[in-house]
Structure 1
């Protein structure tokens, strides 16, 4: 791709000019050509300006996936504002926090959330207007159609924020990552090059647009001029249907969704031959799920590691490494190698100095993909991004002699037992293989002799009974002795945040009340 724009508005302008009548976006029965999509974005920009939005302002979207969210993101880029896309899975107090933190002046809300917004409307002091999107109360189409297209583009700087996505926040309220023209364009260019995306391709958007795997993937399609097909919700059967029916070439999914897809009746009989890049990430994939998906999508899978703060993907494990070669089997649990345009180093979390190959440390990332910072949180920004442009991810990991990155755990979840660093993910991978275990989390609990010791908290598989002694013996067969859990607890389910991440802080709290633990 020869185009090197400095702001995302140039992408839509290019395809609307070069391929006005080609289909750009499909959502259910909705079909928009590039020219139609551009006209709609220009009308949204005109409506935003008519409502008094000025550069630097925020709007917020609280909705399931809908083309309006992408239109608003592109229109915000055009007028110099930013779209704060709200995680609809948050609890009501957290939703209120995000909207107020963003200081959103207009709130766009889907029909599923209209009632909840009415209940909290008095607690949203910056919101001047609520616009209902879709359903019987739809106002969005009237709001948009009332304005003539405005093609005036605010002269954005590369580091201006136009979309604000909130991190999941396992230890406190979410933080708004300010994603910029420079960052999103760099991410799109880097991923498009590594995943060979072109205008002939068809990109599926199954992940929610509040997630970087949704919005960044939509902008990736825009960058490449690929046709974009969007699902309102990531239903396993619907995802498979769409891949087959629309001849999807590129998609991003999460392991939990892929596990459910593998269980869809007749999944193995679907024609998924059009797929060239099925990217998956955001959480570890248990090896049993991996094996099922390798049968379902042979030669298609790319494991990706990334984060909101870097606009998405920073490393990838390609299809060639998803193989049955015993000599390379260990790579299936790696995050692959850095994508084009990304540097990754392993640093000592205390000193910030690089550690030798193979030694554990904190994963640091440097790339033009990085966010401008956390909205309204300069101290948190300074803690996350070094003066010379490195993002401290907070993830523990190491790099092997072949350059592959292994993500072990969040630094704060690391267990220090008798002077040994233990990463719970290593233990969790082993326990996930046991037939009686459906879900597992390993935490550090106080130990009089070792300071702290690993404890496994598991959920039994359907129809199975967990025997703690059997699990402990299984661990001793498959792990170094110092890594083996000292105890096992069985729960009905693990506590998770709205994006599905296990809340290990909540699991640790009962054991550490009245005691000191630095890694919380």
Structure 2
């Protein structure tokens, strides 16, 4: 079968070749491929009747729901993009994002509708607002819209380079930026990131990561591409995940924080998750002790680590199952090798010159997965992508002589103390080895003598003192890299995908000072 050019192609193919087989299951409802693709075509008909066409944007705002994927495919059939919005945004943020992307139609979850109604008079582009419910029962405006619509086929005007998905950055360095991903970007990711790991007969994909996150959205495309059924959860919680596994889901992508919760829950949970054939993970660093525990507990499970960014449609490097089982411990701490069809460079961030193999610098990537650009921001796009097509990630890392990528830190997370560069991830890896440490984040805080000093913020799974942890670090790190102080907290702040929010940890220490809190 030739590679698809448009996101709806595979759904159409499966609807034609196995119409009565399961496509999507969600909260007790199941749609076959023919049923699901009919919904997509009806939604495309409804959007077209409202004047949505090539170059337009629609938006989806809710927790995980099949309607989000239907919106992406249906809008794409018309040459429009679907802006998938973080459901945790505050009113002012929603106002900004919806106006910035110029969404003409908004599908919103019923729980979030009151917040949208409160800012409706500030939404300059939105012409139609449709409420969707988790259960899809009577009174569901979205279901009524589909029922009354006439199905249409893809517009002949659509090209693979049309924007299909818009996702917004977290806005840590200012206003969030819309990241425009084309059909060809997303398809290149699906073909490259998962090359060598096809879904086959009997496989079922557990889709639990938030769809507004590129990890969740791109992972959903894996099952769609291979025609495997997807079991979608509304939230990432233990009961929902367990329900998916008990329903036969055996492949998934999650964040390390979820894996940690599985082991905290106990032996029954660990045994249940051992039914997974594939456990892909990413979006935040995996503590090595946790990974060792998982590898030992699930000897038959294939582990895949991915490192990526929204701007490259998801994963840009991967550490495969063989590397997890056979690699040296040093390589286990890598992000693997660049995905097929993509290139990596390590450059001096000040000069742009490539550094020798093994030396640290900023990671740059060139790939067919690379975004079309930042929506309505040509200057930001030009600043991030070189004329030769290299994307400046803002991540500090190195590549060894085997091509394995080691992500050391974000440029903005690097701590400069007394003129020395200290990479927070290096310190975190050491402290994570202490048996009493459950989770750790390392930040730089003001220091009158050195400019910045190293602070560790930890959650514990045992008894240990601040001085003990500092002494432990000194056994493994140069003195200047060791934390000068340790805060012990009940939990670390996280975003909806489980990534630790270091800006929130830094903020109280840098309030009123000249270092950014991002």
Normalising by structure 1, report the TM-score. 0.92
Kept in 2: contact 1:199–1:224 (CA 8 A): no
What residue in structure 2 maps to residue 204 of structure 1? 206
1:420 equivalent to 2:406? Answer no
What residue in structure 1 maps to residue 400 of structure 2? 400
Kept in 2: contact 1:278–1:301 (CA 8 A): yes
Kept in 2: contact 1:366–1:389 (CA 8 A): yes
1:337 equivalent to 2:340? Answer no
What residue in structure 1 maps to residue 44 of structure 2? 45
Which shows bigger deviation, 438-447 or 405-414?
Answer: 438-447
Kept in 2: contact 1:416–1:452 (CA 8 A): yes
Report how far residue 154 of structure 1 moved.
4.1
Provide the rounded CA distance (Å) in 2 between the counterparts of 1:282 and 1:47. 35
1:103 equivalent to 2:105? Answer no
Structure 1 residues 517 and 20: alpha-carbon distance in aligned structure 2, compared to 1, 3 A threshold? same
Please give the secondary structure, in 2, of the residue aligned with 1:408.
strand
What residue in structure 1 maps to residue 309 of structure 2? 307
Q: 156, 159, 162: which one pairs with 1:157? A: 159
What residue in structure 2 maps to residue 194 of structure 1? 196
CA RMSD, aligned part only?
2.3
Report how far residue 328 of structure 1 moved.
0.6
Kept in 1: contact 2:510–2:516 (CA 8 A): no
Provide the rounded CA distance (Å) in 2 between the counterparts of 1:104 and 1:385. 26
What residue in structure 2 maps to residue 291 of structure 1? 292
Provide the rounded CA distance (Å) in 1 between the counterparts of 2:263 and 2:322. 21
Kept in 2: contact 1:198–1:224 (CA 8 A): yes
What residue in structure 2 maps to residue 67 of structure 1? 66
- Deviation track 1:468-502 (CA, whole Å, cap 9, x = no partner) reads 22221111001122211223344454444454433
Provide the rounded CA distance (Å) in 1 between the counterparts of 2:243 and 2:105. 35
1:370 equivalent to 2:370? Answer yes
What residue in structure 1 maps to residue 242 of structure 2? 240
Provide the rounded CA distance (Å) in 1 between the counterparts of 2:353 and 2:218. 31
Please give the secondary structure, in 1, of the residue aligned with 2:364.
strand
What residue in structure 2 maps to residue 231 of structure 1? 233
What residue in structure 2 maps to residue 270 of structure 1? 272
What residue in structure 2 maps to residue 55 of structure 1? 54
- Kindly report which structure 2 residues correspond to 1:80-95, keeping only aligned pairs within 5 A, or say none: 80-95=79-94
- Deviation track 1:129-153 (CA, whole Å, cap 9, x = no partner) reads 2111125641111111111211242
Kept in 1: contact 2:24–2:231 (CA 8 A): yes
Report how far residue 191 of structure 1 moved.
2.6
Count of equivalent residues: 513
Structure 1 residues 29 and 163: alpha-carbon distance in aligned structure 2, compared to 1, 3 A threshold? same
What residue in structure 2 maps to residue 317 of structure 1? 319
Provide the rounded CA distance (Å) in 2 between the counterparts of 1:352 and 1:198. 44
Please give the secondary structure, in 1, of the residue aligned with 2:48.
helix
Normalising by structure 2, report the TM-score. 0.92
What residue in structure 2 maps to residue 280 of structure 1? 281
Kept in 1: contact 2:507–2:517 (CA 8 A): no
Report how far residue 461 of structure 1 moved.
1.9
Provide the rounded CA distance (Å) in 2 between the counterparts of 1:121 and 1:163. 23
Provide the rounded CA distance (Å) in 1 between the counterparts of 2:42 and 2:316. 35
User: What runs of 5+ residues in structure 1 fail to find an aligned partner?
Assistant: none
What residue in structure 2 maps to residue 256 of structure 1? 257
Provide the rounded CA distance (Å) in 2 between the counterparts of 1:152 and 1:413. 45
Kept in 2: contact 1:62–1:87 (CA 8 A): yes
Provide the rounded CA distance (Å) in 1 between the counterparts of 2:122 and 2:338. 43
Kept in 2: contact 1:437–1:460 (CA 8 A): yes
Structure 1 residues 32 and 460: alpha-carbon distance in aligned structure 2, compared to 1, 3 A threshold? closer
Provide the rounded CA distance (Å) in 1 between the counterparts of 2:462 and 2:174. 36
1:477 equivalent to 2:475? Answer yes
Which shows bigger deviation, 364-373 or 130-139?
Answer: 130-139
Provide the rounded CA distance (Å) in 2 between the counterparts of 1:186 and 1:200. 25
Kept in 2: contact 1:240–1:261 (CA 8 A): no
Provide the rounded CA distance (Å) in 2 between the counterparts of 1:256 and 1:271. 14
Kept in 1: contact 2:204–2:229 (CA 8 A): yes
Report how far residue 70 of structure 1 moved.
0.8
User: What runs of 5+ residues in structure 2 fail to find an aligned partner?
Assistant: none
Provide the rounded CA distance (Å) in 2 between the counterparts of 1:166 and 1:195. 29
Please give the secondary structure, in 1, of the residue aligned with 2:195.
helix
- Deviation track 1:205-236 (CA, whole Å, cap 9, x = no partner) reads 11111111111111222222222221111212
Please give the secondary structure, in 2, of the residue aligned with 1:246.
coil
Structure 1 residues 195 and 472: alpha-carbon distance in aligned structure 2, compared to 1, 3 A threshold? same
Please give the secondary structure, in 2, of the residue aligned with 1:421.
strand
Which shows bigger deviation, 133-142 or 183-192?
Answer: 133-142
Provide the rounded CA distance (Å) in 2 between the counterparts of 1:405 and 1:272. 28
Kept in 2: contact 1:221–1:227 (CA 8 A): yes
Report how far residue 71 of structure 1 moved.
0.8
- Kindly report which structure 2 residues correspond to 1:5-20, keeping only aligned pairs within 5 A, or say none: 5-20=4-19
Provide the rounded CA distance (Å) in 2 between the counterparts of 1:494 and 1:181. 37
Please give the secondary structure, in 2, of the residue aligned with 1:322.
helix
Report how far residue 79 of structure 1 moved.
0.7
Which shows bigger deviation, 486-495 or 257-266?
Answer: 486-495
Provide the rounded CA distance (Å) in 2 between the counterparts of 1:515 and 1:166. 28
Please give the secondary structure, in 2, of the residue aligned with 1:478.
coil
Which shows bigger deviation, 476-485 or 292-301?
Answer: 292-301
Kept in 1: contact 2:22–2:229 (CA 8 A): yes
Report how far residue 34 of structure 1 moved.
1.8
